[in-house]
Chains A and B, each alone.
Chain A
């Protein structure tokens, strides 16, 4: 049975798109047929992070309006089998997306794929609600700071009320992904700890991605950071995807340790 998963946060710039690209890539590497949908109309950048921006011809809106067929708009990933993406429109008006149009697209994708990952725009408005509406599961992305946690709290409230599952009296399975985590700054109380965030949001934690140079490097190259298996962030996304598939893995990269020579030589590259 195909699963629709929304990657959402409320706040912008927390790492939704980065996470969508890497988790989607990891799922496909495990052999799951996966498609990523960019819902961020006007600010499309999932295609940049995936490194397929030059191959975009049609977009989500073209399909919902019948200007293109789904098969024409799907972009196949160069690196991983089973991985496709559906870009957002950069030029069209946000209101061109409709719930009915998206439902048709998602139903069609469900025939072909195991996982449909929806990369949500920021905010709590129509665009974000549209990205979450058909979701079976949600990955709530949060940074270790008060405003981000509060926005995520609001988003979890919306997942509990504004989704089709909620309207049918069912719930959307929700899990927490903390990104841009810097154990040193947590140690110095500049940032919130994973425990504090979990305590407030009260949903199960499924991953912690450390703040890492590797992420920016990867997005600039258009290669999802999960391909960089040497890097801490790449490994953390691998762990996250494994947990998402039900595997039990200990959390890494959450404790601050002053790095000795050995761990600097043999530990993950930052």
Chain B
């Protein structure tokens, strides 16, 4: 039997009201492209000066444009968030939320009525650019042993073949396809530069995580069905990981 696994489950519509009453609204999930303003400094004067230069260059962009203020790169625990927001507004940007790990900034955002996003859990997985056409491929990288807990193998611009197994706690990454002659018990990340035509093949799957072109699935406490004791291929089909 083939079984399917949903990669990113997105609840598309959530109805809150009962059937009798017509809904006064719907919640819709989905992806909106929002610009992120990743700050390298919290110095408002410096930010303002640079924003003004940019506005002159692309005035259309800076009119009522919603942005997320990202503080990932800042080491400091606190910033003058109110001043930064004002600076943005003066220059046609409308901050709607912050992205940070610093609690103090999160609290300031709350006070200013802004939303909050956590840092992306795994930047490598989420920041891959989606591109179907691949760059020049190098020859296949072959690993002639088992990849063990704590080890990581990367095949840049290439396919990756592992003659042994990939054990729990090990990670194999390729810009191309990944082929494992033994069992996949760890993490396999294929299409690491965004090639979504690639796949992961293995003799037996007990994976912790499989990712193809940034679409990933973890199998934390996942009970693998008995029929996974056979060669499988994982591919990306309509934005979902499919195991066959």
Residues of A within 8 A of B (CB): 124, 150-151, 153-154, 156-157, 160, 199-200, 202
User: What is the CA–CA distance of A160 and B183 in the complex, to the nearest angstrom?
Assistant: 20
Closest Cβ of chain A to B133, distance in Å, is: 36
Whether the pair B169, A150 counts as a contact (CB closer than 8 A) is: yes
11 contacts between A and B (CB under 8 A): A150-B168, A153-B148, A153-B149, A153-B167, A153-B168, A154-B148, A157-B148, A157-B149, A157-B151, A200-B167, A200-B185
User: What is the CA–CA distance of A153 and B151 in the complex, to the nearest angstrom?
Assistant: 10
User: What is the CA–CA distance of A199 and B204 in the complex, to the nearest angstrom?
Assistant: 12
User: What is the CA–CA distance of A162 and B133 in the complex, to the nearest angstrom?
Assistant: 39
Whether the pair A202, B149 counts as a contact (CB closer than 8 A) is: no
Residues of B within 8 A of A (CB): 145-146, 148-151, 164-165, 167-169, 182-183, 185
- Where chain A touches its partner, the secondary structure class is helix
Closest Cβ of chain B to A235, distance in Å, is: 31
Closest Cβ neighbor of A203 among chain B residues: B146
Whether the pair B164, A153 counts as a contact (CB closer than 8 A) is: no
Whether the pair B149, A154 counts as a contact (CB closer than 8 A) is: yes
Contacts of B149 in A (CB 8 A): 150-151, 153-154, 157
Whether the pair A202, B150 counts as a contact (CB closer than 8 A) is: no
Contacts of A202 in B (CB 8 A): 145-146, 164-165, 182
Instruction: Select the residue from B149, B151, B164 with max chain A CB neighbours within 10 A.
Output: B149
Q: Considering the complex of A and B, which 9 residue pairs feature the smallest CB-CB distances, nearest first?
A: A157-B148, A153-B149, A154-B149, A153-B148, A202-B146, A154-B150, A157-B151, A153-B167, A150-B149
User: What is the CA–CA distance of A226 and B182 in the complex, to the nearest angstrom?
Assistant: 37
Closest Cβ neighbor of B204 among chain A residues: A199
Closest Cβ of chain B to A144, distance in Å, is: 16
Contacts of B148 in A (CB 8 A): 153-154, 156-157, 160
Closest Cβ of chain B to A193, distance in Å, is: 16
Whether the pair A153, B169 counts as a contact (CB closer than 8 A) is: yes
Q: Which of A150, A151, A160 contacts B145 (CB 8 A)?
A: A160
User: What is the CA–CA distance of A202 and B182 in the complex, to the nearest angstrom?
Assistant: 10
Whether the pair A200, B165 counts as a contact (CB closer than 8 A) is: yes
Instruction: Select the residue from A151, A153, A160 with max chain B CB neighbours within 10 A.
Output: A153
Contacts of A124 in B (CB 8 A): 150
Contacts of A200 in B (CB 8 A): 165, 167, 185
Contacts of B145 in A (CB 8 A): 160, 202
Contacts of B150 in A (CB 8 A): 124, 154, 157
Closest Cβ neighbor of A10 among chain B residues: B149
Closest Cβ neighbor of A171 among chain B residues: B145
Closest Cβ of chain B to A127, distance in Å, is: 17
Closest Cβ neighbor of A202 among chain B residues: B146
